Amino acid sequence: MTTIRQKNVQSAQWSPNGEALGTLDLTKDKNNPFGANVFSAAVQKDRLKGDTFKQLQSTLEQGEALDPSLADEVAEAMKEWALERGATHYTHVFQPLTGLTAEKHDSFFEPDGTGRAVADFSGKELIQGEPDASSFPTGGVRATFEARGYTAWDPTSPAFILENPNGALLCIPTAFASWTGEALDAKIPLLRSMDALSESAIGALRLLGDEKSNRVFTTIGAEQEYFLIDEHYYFDRPDLVTTGRTLFGAKPPKGHELDDHYFGSIEPRILACMLETETELRKLGVPVKTRHNEVAPGQYEIAPIFENSNVGSDHQQLTMQMMRSVARRYGLVCLLHEKPFAGVNGSGKHNNWSMGTDTGHNLMEPGDTPADNVSFLFFCAAVIQAVNKHQGLLRASVASIGQDHRLGANEAPPAIISIFLGAELEKVFAAIESGEGDPHTPGSFLELGASVLPPLPMHGGDRNRTSPFAFTGNKFEFRAVGSSASLAFPNTVLNTIVAEAIDDLAGKLKQKLEGGGDLAAAVAEVVKESYSANKAILFSGDNYDEAWHAEAVERGLKDLKTTPDALPEVLAEPTVEMFDKYAVLSERELESRYEVWLEQYIINANIEAETAHDIAKTMILPAALRHLELCANSGLPGVGQETSALAAKLLAAIGELEQANVYPDGVEGMELALHARDKQIAAMAGVREIADQLEKTIPNELWPLPKYSEILFVR
Ligand code: ADP
Ligand code: MG
């Protein structure tokens, strides 16, 4: 198994289509070599004319637009390749605003008029598709424009074949836009943000003396947490089936406080499922590499080697899809909900983020020469400034109804965004700020002269697992992302806010340099100013500690606890201004996202509340009544009193939930979201509290739902 080099990353690692990763020997399985089902650069090279291949490659490398005249030849080669591999259909895969992946299948075969069929796939069909846009949420963008949307081929994310026992499907990653060019999906803004960041970073690199780099790529590697449970339990729980989480369930006697699960051995069935998932993913060119048990029972993690943001984000969608479908082959169900079990650790998706040049320089790598240090400190300061300025937006970028149960629930970072730098790096910044050397570091800062920047610590060393945004040696790890989330928007935000901060710092640096200053000294000054102004966002203590909430508020940091609290940040003035300036999202596009996300919150809360009501009324209450009957028949005085009292309370709580589930007249938008949060979700919690007590008084054989102790521990 090849391990990724964390230092001195070769340019190949930053290849925009993730292709270079294919050269890593990630598998010993000769029948299923890495990327076997990917229309990779190697396949393209074999099958395209030399010129076409070169033009396509330069499109990929430089992020240029594709020459449409190439499309027919590429389409023909792609079709031949796909047919040879058994594909009968092709699909434009895209990511509507729901955060899911959508596809519409078309057959390659068309009747030829003689009763036979010919395989046909033109450049036009490759480049553009027209799904029925009306069935996807657009947050009103489409209403005043044409009702149609179209998918456009994204040549920077490689096409691949999804196998199925009964056939195979050629999948073409695409962007989804309205005819007026407005982004109806998650991919377009991400691509735009990558362009924005590249331009800003290249500008700054020139000032910093880098004349060689021409493109900067942002990279992501996501550590995905998930649960695997036996499907029998799943199908016996209407709440899991319809909402992805348990709406009822008392805490099991044996819980995750027994940490024998963490990094413990993996049960054979689970391991078999993981191995097959990994094999499938490798065939699709997804470079997955790690697996271990997570903290909670039944919880695991999978992580890929990082790729550029676009490919990494597409691959992450594919990973979730594969995890779900392979699990079923083993009689398991993969739960990607952020909090499937109350009182048990939830699942996140740590979004490791960095940026690197096409010459192979990871800009978040401290490096061991002073020149690297200058550049690292500059870009690191930009990240700090960006996160501080747009903390609310970052919080909003990970908001969802599932997250509301996870963030701050004692196993995940709170809803307050802060940065952990690590003690050594903090020392370096503090020394730059004060202009005074750290007596413990030999040869360090004595003056803000040319020698101000000593070698930096190579790796952050210490870790803080409670931080929502931590520097981890050569990348930042955005840990607040939810397990079911698409990575596209959080990374769109990261890229754009950092682009903005880089431009701001570069402008200041330029001024100082025009004044005829030394580069290192000028950078030190810029870093010092920015650090001083933004250091309130740094926090190295325990983020799970209650005291942090009070301190954060005192510092003026935002504590946006729930989705309705966070979403308005999407339309806040600094957000709108920035996205507009970098042409990543127009105000209309932002409004549409706000509306779609708010609507999803309302709809999901309602589905949960209705499901909770049904289960309580038609499963749990009857179980209580049966128990009471049993008690009455026993003739023993006093028996069943507890159940009786709880049943009465449950009846009342169900009544309250029933009322909450009726929407007040004329209420919509944010007001309705607040109704959902403060009335429906609150009433649901009320019902649950009583039901969970009943679970402990009613005989096992009468209890209608599989219990946590079964679901989590029986594999
Ligand atoms: P750790 O969290 O212990 O540092 P790893 O080194 O295994 O763990 O990295 C965790 C994740 O971070 C992996 O998915 C990895 O690919 C990703 N990662 C590593 N370097 C980068 C980078 N430069 N940019 C983005 N992600 C990265
Ligand atoms: Mg990690």
- The string of DSSP letters for 454-470 reads PPPPSS--S--TT-SEE
Does ligand 1 lie within 6 Å of residue 352's CB atom? yes
Q: Which of 38-42, 47-51, 588-592 is modeled with the greatest confidence?
A: 588-592
Going by CA atoms, what residue is nearest to atom 2 of ligand 1? 472
pLDDT band, very low/low/confident/very high, at 439 (cuts 50, 70, 90):
very low
The alpha-helical segments, DSSP class H, found in 485-640 are 488-514, 519-534, 546-555, 563-566, 573-581, 587-615, 621-634
CA–centroid distance, residue 371 to ligand 1 (Å): 24
Distance (angstroms) between ligand 2 centre and the Cα of 195 equals 27
CA–centroid distance, 33 to ligand 1, in Å, is: 23
Rg (C-alpha) for the chain, rounded Å, is: 27
Q: Which of 24, 475, 478, 481 to mutate to test the pocket of ligand 1 (most atoms within 8 A of CB)?
A: 475
Taking only the tens place, the pLDDT of each residue in 444-475 is 443 333 344 555 555 545 678 889 999 998 99
Q: What is the pLDDT of residue 44?
A: 92
The answer on pLDDT for 212 being more than 50 is: yes
Give me the residues paired with residue 164 across strands: 167
> Is residue 362 lining ligand 1, measured as CB closer than 6 Å?
yes
This prediction's pTM: 0.91
Q: Between 7 and 604, name the one with better pLDDT.
A: 604
Q: Return the percentage of the chain with pLDDT > 90, whole number.
A: 64
Mean pLDDT lowest among 152-156, 528-532, 537-541 = 152-156
| Interval between CA 350 and ligand 2 midpoint (Å) | 6
Q: How far is the CA of 8 from the centre of ligand 1 (A)?
A: 14
Answer yes or no: is pLDDT of 208 > 80. yes
Whether ligand 1 lies within 6 angstroms of the CB of 219 is answered as yes
Which distant-in-sequence residues (6+ apart) come within 8 Å of 220 by Cβ? 306, 307, 308, 309, 312, 313, 316, 351, 352, 353, 487, 491
User: Over 70: is that where the pLDDT of 582 sits?
Assistant: yes
Tokens coding 272: 């078999």
Average pLDDT over residues 398-427: 87
Specify the ligand 1 atom closest to the Cα of 474.
Answer: 23
Place of tokens 């290249």: 202
How does pLDDT run across 644-702, given as a tens digit for each residue?
A: 999 999 999 999 999 999 999 999 999 999 999 999 999 999 999 999 999 999 999 99
Average confidence (pLDDT) over 545-570: 94
Q: Which ligand is nearest to the CA of 473?
A: 1
Q: Is the CB of 385 under 6 A from ligand 1?
A: no
Residue of the nearest CA to atom 6 in ligand 1? 6
Residues 19 and 596: their CA atoms lie apart, in Å, by: 34
Please give the pLDDT value at position 150. 84
Q: What SS3 state is found at 223? A: strand
pLDDT at 135: 67
304 touches ligand 1 (CB under 6 Å): yes
CA distance 358 to 214: 7
Ligand 2: centre distance to CA 483 (Å): 13
The CA 323 to ligand 1 mean position distance, Å, reads: 20
Does the structure show a pLDDT above 70 at 132? no
- Residue-level pLDDT at 687: 98
Query: Ligand 1 within 6 A of 309 CB?
Result: no
Ligand nearest to the CA of 306: 1
**Does the CB atom of residue 354 touch ligand 1 within 6 A?**
yes
> Residue 5 CA: which ligand is closest?
1
Residue 2 has pLDDT above 60, yes or no: no
131: pLDDT confidence band, cut at 50, 70 and 90? Answer: confident
Tell which wins on pLDDT, 607 or 105: 607
Q: Which atom of ligand 1 is nearest to the CA of 305?
A: 16
Q: Is 18 in the pocket of ligand 1 (CB under 6 A)?
A: no
Protein residue closest via CA to atom 4 of ligand 1: 472
Which pLDDT score, from 0 to 100, does residue 112 have? 76
Q: Which residue's CA is the closest to the ligand 1 atom numbered 22? A: 354
Q: Which atom of ligand 1 is the closest one to the Cα of 473?
A: 4
Distance 306 CA to ligand 2 centre (A): 12
CA of 356, closest atom in ligand 1: 23
Distance 166 CA to ligand 1 centre (A): 37
Residue 494: pLDDT above 80?
yes
Percent of the chain with pLDDT over 70: 86
CA of residue 529 to ligand 2 center, whole Å: 30
Report whether pLDDT(379) > 70.
yes
CA–CA distance, 221 with 656 (Å, rounded to integer): 45
**Nearest Cα residue to 87 out of 71, 74, 106:** 106
Distance of CA 465 from the midpoint of ligand 2 (Å): 8
- Is the CB of 363 inside a 6 Å radius of any atom of ligand 1? no
Burial class (CB in 10 A: 0-12, 13-18, 19+), 609: buried
What average pLDDT does the segment 596-606 reach? 97
Residue 168 in this model has a pLDDT that exceeds 60: yes
Residue-wise pLDDT for 396-412, tens only, equals 999 999 999 999 766 67
CA angle 218, 221, 222 (to 5 degrees): 130
pLDDT at 268 over 60: yes
Q: What is the mean pLDDT of residues 14-32?
A: 46
Q: Which pLDDT band, with edges at 50, 70 and 90, does 372 fall under?
A: low
CB 219 within 8 A of CB 356: yes
If you measure from the C-alpha of residue 308 to the centroid of ligand 1, how many angstroms do you get, rounded to a whole number?
A: 12
Report residue 9's pLDDT band, with 50, 70 and 90 as the boundaries.
very low
Alpha-carbon distance of 34 to 288, in angstroms, equals 10
Q: Whose CA is nearest to atom 19 of ligand 1?
A: 306
